[in-house]
Amino acid sequence: MDQAPDGPQGPEDQGPRHARSLPVCHRHPDRETGIRCTRCERPICPECMVDASVGFQCPECARGGASRPGGGISGVKRAPEASRPRTLAGGTITADPRLLTKILIGINVAVFVAVHAWPSLLDRLVLVGAWPPAPFHSTEGVAEGEWYRLVTSVFTHEAVWHVAFNMLSLWWLGGPLEAVLGRVRYLALYLCSGLAGSALTYLLAPSPSASLGASGAVFGLFGATAVLVRRLNQDMRPILALLAINLIITFGWKDEIAWQAHIGGLVAGIVIGYAMVHAPRRRRALIQYGTCALVLAAVVAVTLLRTAQLT
Ligand SMILES: [Zn+2]
Ligand SMILES: [Zn+2]
């Protein structure tokens, strides 16, 4: 069974928690946290939480436990798979917990540079096959079977402010999420959210709507971060305020911004994020990847439906 991350280990764990009274992570003094290592009782932030057989441990204690012959504290039974330290969501702990976020940012920046070097590339990458959007192009692209555009549009930006804003958000939200989820789960969350944003845009946006950008995936990271913050009993207000500001911008400029991509990504991020951090340990991977598969099935269904309408 999954154990709550905050057992009754210290006086600050009782009663309603206030952000100011929280201790800071012993490895990251700038991060407040309500969680302590179940072995040494030092405070640990989500990035430092290792999913041990009993609660969560700091990386030092987890390493100590895993390297012992037999791999466990005497008297505590360990399942063989639990003897390897894992992240909160069951992912593998890596030396560079933000490597994939860096690679994703690198791909986005490379595509941004490429479409400015060869502007005709935009026509090939955006959701609907014309940039700038033109009425006579309205059914080009996905409707003609170019499904790859559901993916490529997520990595394509045309305006500097657009790529800068999305990449800053990706770094702030994606870095911590990658550390907590592990690389494979994080990549699944990112791609499924981006695809859900593309699919909802394809379904609802009035044609012609070329639509491009990582915003759907970034809103997915928003949704998953909100779920994670709630799961860790941390202060929800900063993430909710940031999300509210982004939604106000989304709907305040909804003529220029594909709100469908933001909402599609956000909903997918909340659903997948919930599965990632709440799945019971016994069938964890099945529930986590099964939820991603359900989101992908919805993407396929929505795309087929809209293509049938357009052609
Ligand atoms: Zn410890
Ligand atoms: Zn930490």
Query: Per-residue pLDDT averaged across 275-286, rounded?
Result: 91
Same-domain check for residues 226 and 302: yes
CATH number of the domain that 209 lies in? Answer: 1.20.1540.10
Cα(60) to centroid(ligand 1), Å? 6
In a domain, 178, yes or no: yes
Cα(62) to centroid(ligand 2), Å? 14
Same-domain check for residues 195 and 298: yes
CB-neighbour burial class of residue 101 (10 A; exposed 0-12, middle 13-18, buried 19+) = buried
Same-domain check for residues 147 and 248: yes
- Looking at the chain, the whole-number percentage of residues with pLDDT higher than 70 is 81
- Which of 116, 198, 262, 278 is catalytic? The answer is 262
Range list of H helices, 133-258: 148-152, 160-169, 175-181, 183-204, 215-231, 237-252
Q: Which ligand is nearest to the CA of 65?
A: 1
Range list of H helices, 55-152: 59-67, 99-117, 121-125, 148-152
In a domain, 284, yes or no: yes
6-51 per-position pLDDT tens digit: 444 444 444 444 445 678 899 998 888 878 888 898 989 888 888 8
CATH number of the domain that 44 lies in? Answer: 3.30.40
pLDDT band, residue 194 (cuts 50/70/90): very high
pTM score, two decimals?
0.79
Of 85, 115, 142, the domain-final residue: 85
Of 43, 63, 85, the domain-final residue: 85
Cα(261) to centroid(ligand 2), Å? 33
- The yes-or-no verdict on residue 293 having pLDDT over 80 is yes
pLDDT at 157: 92
Same-domain check for residues 18 and 66: yes
Average per-residue pLDDT for the chain: 82
In a domain, 73, yes or no: yes
Cα(77) to centroid(ligand 1), Å? 19
Same-domain check for residues 122 and 268: yes
Same-domain check for residues 81 and 229: no
Q: Which ligand is nearest to the CA of 57?
A: 1
256 in Cβ contact with 211 (< 8 Å): no
Q: Distance between CA atoms of 237 and 204, rounded to whole angstroms?
A: 31
Our answer to whether residue 215 is catalytic in this structure is yes
Same-domain check for residues 181 and 37: no
Instruction: Tell me, rounded to whole angstroms, the distance of Cα 311 from its chain centroid.
Output: 34
Of 214, 217, 213, the residue nearest 272 (C-alpha): 217
Same-domain check for residues 24 and 157: no
Same-domain check for residues 189 and 49: no
Number of domains in the chain: 2
| Domain range for 283 | 99-310
Same-domain check for residues 109 and 68: no
Structure tokens at 253: 């400029």
157-175 per-position pLDDT tens digit: 988 998 999 999 999 999 9
In a domain, 37, yes or no: yes
In a domain, 155, yes or no: yes
Of 38, 63, 85, the domain-final residue: 85
Same-domain check for residues 192 and 291: yes
Same-domain check for residues 51 and 106: no
In a domain, 93, yes or no: no
In a domain, 90, yes or no: no
In a domain, 94, yes or no: no
